[in-house]
Amino acid sequence: MEELRINELSIRTWNFLDVNDVRKEIANEYVKVNYEIDNKELDYENMGVNLQVDEIEYASWIDELEIGCGENIKRVLKDSNIPFDVFKVKEKKIQEPLKINLNYEDSIKGLLSRTIFELDKDSSLVVIRKHSGNCKKAIEDIRFNISENSMLTIVEIFDFDNDSDFVGSISGEVSANAEFKLMQVCMGSGKITIGSCINLKGNGSKLNVDSGYLLKDDDELDIKYIARHRGRYSNSKINVSGVLRDKAKKSFAGTIDFIKGSKNSVGDEREDVLLMDEGVFNNTTPIILCEEEDVEGAHGASIGKISDEAIFYFKTRGVSEEDINEIMAKSRLEAVISRIPDEKTKNELLKV
Amino acid sequence: MNEIVEKDEGKEVVKEKTYVEDIDRSIYDFKIKDMDVFKVDEGLTEDIVRQISREKNDPEWMAELRLKSLGIYNHIKLPDWGPSIDGLDMDNIVTYVKPKDNKMSGSWDEVPDDIKYTFERLGIPQAERESLAGVGAQYDSELVYHNVKDEVLKQGVIYTDIESALYGPYKDMIKERFMKLIPPTDHKFAALHGAVWSGGSFVYVPKGVKVEIPLQSYFRLNAPGAGQFEHTLIIVDEGADVHFIEGCSAPKYNVANLHAGAVELYVGKNARLRYSTIENWSKNMYNLNTKRAIVEEGGVMEWVSGSFGSHTSFLYPMTILKGNDSRMEFTGITFAGEGQNLDTGLKVVHLGERTVSSVNTKSISKSGGINTFRSAVVIGEKAKGAKSAVDCASLMLDDISRSDTVPVMQVKCDDVDIGHEAKIGRISDEAIFYLMSRGISEEDARAMIVSGFADNVSKELPLEYAIEMNNLIRLEMIGSIG
């Protein structure tokens, strides 16, 4: 198997910290992941979601995108010869979320899913992708292009079995006054690497990232979110919140990049990490890059254990320390889940 | 009037830009004819290192350390991060320049005229008379002046040049610690320093002694194409307290100069050390300095750092909070103007329990200057109860400059409380409006805001140095919109 450096930091720093990239073993060969569209009784075609599979003529933007997990993985994706599933929405606001369930089964070869979302102007679509099963080597490659005044929301639920090893890359462009919302919830097991690079190319374009994780045992999570502000008045907000238990390891790097020309843009990133056991390991790297004067950028991070005040509060109400940990751990994830724009999905997850 | 007319969604909008005058370097940018008595060849070879060692009359262990460091230097690669140092060619750098008539004096009257003139112009003798307990003045590669006030000597404080201390009663203390905090293997320029270091000071403050007035070292690099590699070693014993101020400058040449000094600080149990630096190297200088402190139980390390000069800087004072209840405070400002790429910040490693670090930094970028704030807060496995708060703010004064922030928090213990905040932007129009609505002119309002922005460092310095620092940043605000 080949080892690649992926999820590279947008600006390198000291090597002793070991945050500049992630070393991943890549499978020699990949096959397509099986998926099914949930609620397929709904006629998406009639609703305006045009699904094409297999060979199509790709627009140049697809290859020119900056890949979420980095350029090294681009070659692997291209060489895989796995075609994209392309979902197109033409000037329509789709009310019902498109629900895609990806079930990973143990396989000698790597598993790969490739999806394109293309929204014409004045469209909207919510996509909910649930990942479950056991994947020894799986990659997800999502690319999108959102035209003017459109909105794409992608919700991803990662609920893998033990020993899973998954890489998820999301890359896309957002045009004038359009918006991309990303919600990612990591609640399963295994080693997950997520990289997302969003190009806010249009004036007034927006990015909203809302992610949560609950890691335990020897789970590992590496997240990189990059917001490239190019358009004027572009806006990005990145919020990540999570819990580390047992010997879990997590590395988060968010980059807000104000490129020249992105006047009047605003970027904000926050991470809030709750550490619950001695053996945990956390890296937090909130980066701001700026070559434009008339912008506002801010980032904040808060890392620590449950406050003594919170523990005291619960204990005085008869809650045991063990239960306090459970409540606090779940509440972080539930806060993110409660914002998923689909009641059914929300309720299913909250029951778990 | 500095007006910019822009089209904003079809409408013309007149926007004021804040004008901040470049730092006035004229008081530093004077040159004395280079009349050295001894100068090694350009470049770095074993012969040159041996020559320096002979010239310094090194003890054997130091000579061996130099050669070992050279070997390490030849093997370590340059960092693969940070600003480019392509403009620095070690083959063209002279690593040792001995000034004419060099002999370290305890009286300014004995210092050669042109060197004395240099330091008088920089205000060092005056500062010594008015507000310092001791001064060390280095010119090119050698200390030319060293003096400590009697009352400080009577307290048992040692402040001397490091070379003579290698043979004195403190030789074992120095040997035990020299390049142990910053080993030659640390990075390429630590290895270079180990091979060619010269000059610098040794300070020892005995147990329980509080030095009321600061000690200062001033470094002046006069020779073009030369390097300065001074070594500062400070030991603050249990319960002691001292403030050490470091200043530096050089005239500007068209060739590169290099500064790769090292500062090793040992803060004992319940001791306190404040280390202040006003760095004002010229814009041809590559400033690749390394500073590191280790703090024992209950000790306090305070860094005050003003970076205004250099062409390219890699500067990250590091603190190891080894003992339980030890603390670090870091206050800094970096001003990057035209032609400058200043990569500055800090590192702090929490090892002991209940250790605390607090960081407040500001940066200003203008006229194409590039500022990078780079930090690492590392919490070790056993650092229960550790707390850290980092606050950094960056001010962009135009759209041809650059400001990047790259902080990393690495935590290996659950019982911690870590916070980090950073902001970047321009001067807020609301803040200007607020002050103007209280009767303050726009020009004064802008001046107040930018002065306040830079205030975090100046208020931590003794008054004379705060004034000097504020003189370095002269602010000129343009009139109001008509």
More confident position, B464 or B86: B86
Query: Of residues B250 and A214, which shows the higher confidence score?
Result: A214
Question: How far A87 CA sits from the closest chain B CA (Å)?
Answer: 34
Residue B209 in contact with residue B155, Cβ under 8 Å?
yes
pLDDT band (50, 70, 90) for residue B26:
low
- What gap in Å lies between CA A308 and CA A328, rounded to an integer? 13
Best of B388, B410, B428, B429 to mutate (most A CBs within 10 Å, chain A):
B410
Tokens of A266: 């605003």
H/E run at residue A64 = helix A60-64
Say which of A20, A299, A303 has its CB closest to residue B411.
Answer: A303
- Which pLDDT score, from 0 to 100, does residue B15 have? 47
The conformation of residue B210, written as its DSSP 8-state character, comes to B
- Kindly state the helix (H) or strand (E) to which residue B333 belongs, with its residue range: strand B327-336
To the nearest whole Å, the CA of B305 is away from the closest chain A CA by 21
The segments of chain A whose pLDDT lies below 70 read 39-49, 51-58, 352
Least confident span in A46-55, A118-127, B180-189, B239-248: A46-55
List CB contacts (< 8 A) between B406 and chain A. 11, 13, 285, 287
Residue B465: band (very low, low, confident or very high) from pLDDT cuts 50, 70, 90: low
Picking from B119-128, B160-169, B400-409, which range would have the lowest pLDDT averaged per residue?
A: B119-128
Distance from CA of B43 to the nearest CA of A (A): 28
Question: Quick check: B408 and A277 CB within 8 A?
Answer: no
Q: Which residue has the higher pLDDT, A57 or B460?
A: B460
- The count of other CB atoms within 10 Å of the CB of residue A109 is 12
Q: Report pLDDT for B475.
A: 39
Q: How far A233 CA lies from chain B's nearest CA (Å)? A: 11
**What is the 8-class DSSP label of residue B270?**
T
Two structure tokens written together for B45: 């070879």
Q: How far is CA B178 from CA B162, B263, B368, in A?
A: 10, 10, 39
A293/B424 touch (CB, cutoff 8 Å), yes or no: no
Of B80, B415, B425, the CB nearest to A297: B425
Q: Best residue in A12, A177, A303 to probe B by mutation, most B CBs within 10 Å?
A: A303
Cβ density class B32-64: b for 16+ within 10 Å, e for less:
beeebeebbeeebeeebbebbbeebebeeebbe
Interface contacts (A, B; CB < 8 Å): 139
**E strand or H helix at B68, and its extent?**
helix B60-75
Q: Does B4 touch chain A (CB under 8 A)?
A: no
Judged against a pLDDT cut of 80, whether residue B2 lies above it is answered with: no
Closest CB to A305: pick one of B79, B376, B415: B415
pLDDT of residue B1: 37
Closest residue in B to A308 (Cα–Cα)? B415
- Cβ distance B80 to A289 less than 8 Å, yes or no, reads no
What pLDDT, on a 0 to 100 scale, did the predictor assign at position B16?
A: 47
- Return phi, psi of residue A226, to 5°: -125, 130
Cross-chain residue pair A292–B396, CB shorter than 8 Å:
yes
User: Which segment of A137-141, B181-185, B217-221 scores lowest on mean pLDDT?
Assistant: B217-221
CB contact under 8 A, A298 and B397: no
Closest chain B residue to the Cα of A291, Cα to Cα: B402
Gyration radius of chain B over CA positions: 23
Question: B425: nearest CA in chain A?
Answer: A296
Chain B residues near residue A287 by CB distance under 8 angstroms: 404-407
**Strand B142-148 versus strand B134-139 pairing type:** antiparallel
Using a CB-CB cut-off of 8 Å, the residues of chain A touching B347 are 14
Residue B256 clears pLDDT 80, i.e. is over it = no
- Chain A positions in Cβ-Cβ contact with residue B383 (cut-off 8 Å): none
Asked whether the beta carbons of A257 and A227 are under 8 A apart, the reply is yes
Q: Do A275 and B411 touch (CB under 8 A)?
A: yes
Instruction: Confirm if A306 and B434 have CB atoms less than 8 A apart.
Output: no
**B425–A contact, CB cutoff 8 A:** yes
> What is residue B284's DSSP assignment?
T
CB A237 within 8 A of CB A266: no
Q: Does the beta-carbon distance from A299 to B425 stay under 8 Å?
A: no
Question: How many CB atoms are closer than 10 A to CB A329?
Answer: 20
pLDDT at B470 over 70: no
Burial of A338 (0-12, 13-18, 19+ CB in 10 A): exposed
Query: Quick check: helix, strand or coil at residue B19?
Result: coil
pLDDT at residue A153, as a whole number: 97
Residues whose CB falls within 8 Å of the CB of residue B411, separated by 6 or more in sequence, listed in order: A273, A275, A280, A281, A282, A283, A284, A303, B379, B418
CA dihedral (B443, B448, B451, B455) in degrees, to 10, reads 180
Q: Tell me, what's the pLDDT at B463?
A: 67
A343 CA: distance to closest CA in chain B (Å): 34
Question: What are phi and psi for residue A60, nearest 5 degrees?
Answer: -60, -25
CB contacts of B417 in chain A (<8 Å) are 303-305
Q: Which chain B positions have a beta carbon within 8 Å of A247's beta carbon?
A: none
Residue to mutate among B405, B415, B416, with most A CBs inside 10 A, is B405
Determine the distance in angstroms separating the CA of B319 from the nearest CA of chain A, rounded to an integer.
Answer: 16
The region of weakest confidence among A192-196, A313-317, B190-194, B297-301 is: A313-317
Least confident of A252-261, B334-343, B371-380: B334-343
Residue-range domain boundaries for chain A:
2-306
